[in-house]
């Protein structure tokens, strides 16, 4: 099955896709920003400060999703000994790290008007900070180690260990008494604490952020493939 | 209307700084990634140009190499 996803075969698609994804991202982001900043209503308690949710929540979701993917790809890399898994994971990490930082910074900005503080050593916030450290270690390891087999083993180990933190982040608001509010949306049930007038912009912004991470992934993946081909030319 | 959007009921500084930080991060990441891609593509083209005829023929036999050379600015 993996032979269909070999870099040599999919480069024709991955090299042309970024321009279409970029166009779609700009369209979806424009609609999302209009909804988030102008059309969606203010909250009865938080007033307009609630609009920060439209960048904070999608960024947090996607950074968690990407790290979970890094963990799964790393396990796949160990089991199937397929180096393409490591290449995909390496290409996903920069956007995941950026979304993690965005979630932390926008969360801090949101914290000031709602909780009266920029930062609290609360279970959810601290576990998100730990995730940023794992992302940092993962990206740094790719830069530090030059031996290909060694770097794949080390980065996979970091991703698998860091993945343990993903469910901790998710359930931290239920397991501990935290300043951070519990989850308002449950994808496994129709029970959501958010009104559709806020849920729709949140969904659009999440789609825009997902498109952006896809765009960066494709660009990064193509760069990595060309890097490999550069080394191939040296060996000719 | 414009003033209301800017002030956001007194929360404008928080809301606009959060959105600005996000969009600036997006722009920075996009251009850094694009720069890395262009650099690698140029390096490939220059290495390819320095090969002898036989090696060029061998390199051209791979579809991916032809794709890289044909897409000089595809992002």
Is the minimum CB–CB distance between A18 and chain B shorter than 8 Å? yes
pLDDT at A166 over 50: yes
pLDDT at A97 over 90: yes
Is A141 part of any domain? yes
The predicted complex's ipTM stands at 0.91
Q: Do B41 and A236 touch (CB under 8 A)?
A: no
Is the minimum CB–CB distance between B69 and chain A shorter than 8 Å? no
- Rounded to two decimals, the pTM is 0.91
Domain that holds residue A68: 50-182+195-235
Place B73 in a pLDDT band, splitting at 50, 70 and 90.
Answer: very low
CA separation, residue A7 to residues A32, A83, A99, A224, B49 (Å)? 33, 10, 26, 10, 23
Is the minimum CB–CB distance between B73 and chain A shorter than 8 Å? no
Is A187 part of any domain? no
Is the minimum CB–CB distance between B63 and chain A shorter than 8 Å? yes
Query: Of B72, B57, B22, B4, whose CA–CA distance to A15 is shortest?
Result: B72
Reduce the secondary structure of chain B to three states and give it as a string. Answer: CHHHHHHHHHCHHHHHHHHHHHHHHHHHHHHHHHHHHHHHHHHHHHHHHCCCHHHHHHHHCCHHHHHHHHCCCCC
Mean pLDDT of chain A: 90
Chain B CB contacts of A15 under 8 Å are: 67-68, 71, 74
For B34, nearest residue in chain A (alpha carbons): A219
* Cα torsion through B64, B66, B70, B73, rounded to 10: 30
Q: Do A113 and B11 touch (CB under 8 A)?
A: yes
Task: Report pLDDT digits (tens) over A182-219.
Answer: 777 766 666 677 888 899 999 999 999 999 999 999 99
Q: Are A110 and A49 contacting, i.e. CB atoms less than 8 angstroms apart?
A: yes
The distance of A109 to chain B (nearest Cα, Å) reads 6
- All structural domains of chain B with their residue ranges: 2-70
For B52, nearest residue in chain A (alpha carbons): A236
Query: Of A217, A62, A52, A77, whose CA–CA distance to A151 is shortest?
Result: A77
From the list B9, B21, B40, the residue facing A42 with the nearest CB is B9
The distance of A114 to chain B (nearest Cα, Å) reads 10
Q: Do B47 and A38 touch (CB under 8 A)?
A: no
Domain count, chain A: 1
Is A72 part of any domain? yes
Task: Report pLDDT digits (tens) over A15-70.
Answer: 889 999 999 999 999 999 999 999 999 888 889 999 999 999 999 999 999 999 99
List b or e across B41-61, with b for residues whose CB sees 16 or more CB atoms inside 10 angstroms. Answer: beebeebbeeeeeeebeebee
Is A215 part of any domain? yes
Q: Do A52 and B65 touch (CB under 8 A)?
A: no
């Amino acid at each position: 099955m993996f032979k269909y996803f070999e870099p040599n075969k999919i480069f024709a698609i991955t090299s042309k896709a970024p321009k279409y994804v970029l166009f779609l991202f700009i369209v979806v982001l424009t609609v999302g920003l209009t909804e988030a900043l102008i059309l969606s209503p203010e909250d009865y308690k938080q007033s307009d400060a609630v609009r920060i949710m439209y960048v904070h929540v999608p960024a947090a979701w996607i950074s968690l999703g990407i790290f979970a993917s890094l963990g799964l790809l790393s396990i796949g890399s160990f089991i199937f000994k397929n180096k393409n898994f490591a290449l995909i994971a390496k290409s996903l990490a920069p956007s995941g790290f950026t979304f993690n930082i965005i979630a932390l910074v926008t969360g801090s900005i949101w914290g000031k008007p709602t909780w009266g503080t920029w930062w609290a050593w609360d279970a959810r916030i601290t576990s998100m900070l730990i995730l940023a450290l794992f992302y940092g270690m993962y990206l740094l390891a790719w830069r530090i180690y030059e031996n290909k087999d060694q770097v794949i083993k080390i980065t996979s180990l970091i991703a698998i260990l860091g993945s343990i933190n993903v469910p901790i982040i998710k359930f931290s608001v239920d397991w501990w008494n935290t300043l951070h509010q519990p989850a308002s949306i449950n994808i496994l049930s129709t029970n959501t604490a958010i009104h559709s007038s806020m849920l729709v912009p949140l969904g659009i912004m999440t789609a825009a952020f997902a498109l952006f991470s896809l765009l960066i992934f494709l660009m990064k993946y193509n760069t990595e493939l060309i890097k490999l081909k550069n080394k191939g030319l040296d060996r000719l | 209307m414009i003033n209301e959007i800017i002030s956001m009921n007194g929360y404008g500084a928080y809301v606009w700084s959060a959105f600005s930080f996000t969009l600036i991060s997006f722009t920075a990441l996009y251009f850094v990634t694009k720069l890395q891609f262009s650099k690698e593509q140029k390096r490939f083209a220059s290495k390819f140009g320095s090969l002898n005829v036989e090696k060029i023929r061998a390199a051209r036999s791979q579809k991916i190499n032809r794709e890289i050379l044909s897409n000089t600015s595809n992002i």
